[in-house]
Amino acid sequence: MTINNNTSLFDRFEKLDKIINIWLVANSIIILRFSMGIIFIGFGVLKFFNGISPIEVLATRTTTSLTFGIFSGHNAMVFVATLECIIGLCFLSGRFLRVGVWLLALQMIGAMSPLLLYPSELFSGPFHAPTLEAQYIIKDIILIAAGMVIASTWTGARIVVKPQLLRATLKKRVPGVYQDIQTVPFV
């Protein structure tokens, strides 16, 4: 009798798992896009005001270097703030999404460049551990990956529901989720 209750509980969990998976497939890209928009507008707005952004000094210096002095001081922060707000609006609205993703790529080059421009400053902890600023920059890898997922949708890529029982996925890799290194182009 205990076995039937356990099986019934497991079957209920699998049903819930399937429902959640279907919902995630239908909504996750939109949620990702909105989240990116909110993040970029939120952090962009902070940069319009002196002394509020925790990365202001580093971002100003980096922008000044990358623009060869065209933007310096507070104007460098206004440039970055405007860029981030435009990216955020593109992601939130879904309009001009290609423009937003290309601007994101440009912005991410600028955001990640301090790792190359100022490595001794950013990895000055014991055993060259990253400083808080370096950690702030390194987390942008997640934004890059999210931008790549969103960019894939403008050519029609979609997540497809292929429900599989939980039991079937416990013992093997899920097809289509992992790629062998031989199947990845340009490796």
43-97 pLDDT per residue, tens = 999 999 999 988 899 999 999 999 999 999 999 999 999 999 999 999 999 999 9
Nearest 5°: the CA angle 65, 103, 108 is 55
DSSP code for 43: H
Q: What is the pLDDT of residues 127-175, one digit of tens each?
A: 999 998 999 999 999 999 999 999 988 877 788 777 777 766 666 665 5
Supply the pLDDT for residue 187.
Answer: 47
Kindly calculate the radius of gyration of the chain based on its CA atoms and give it in whole angstroms: 22
Q: What gap in Å lies between CA 33 and CA 150, rounded to an integer?
A: 7
- Considering the entire predicted model, what is its pTM? 0.81
What residue ranges do the domains of the chain occupy?
23-164
Q: What gap in Å lies between CA 159 and CA 101, rounded to an integer?
A: 19
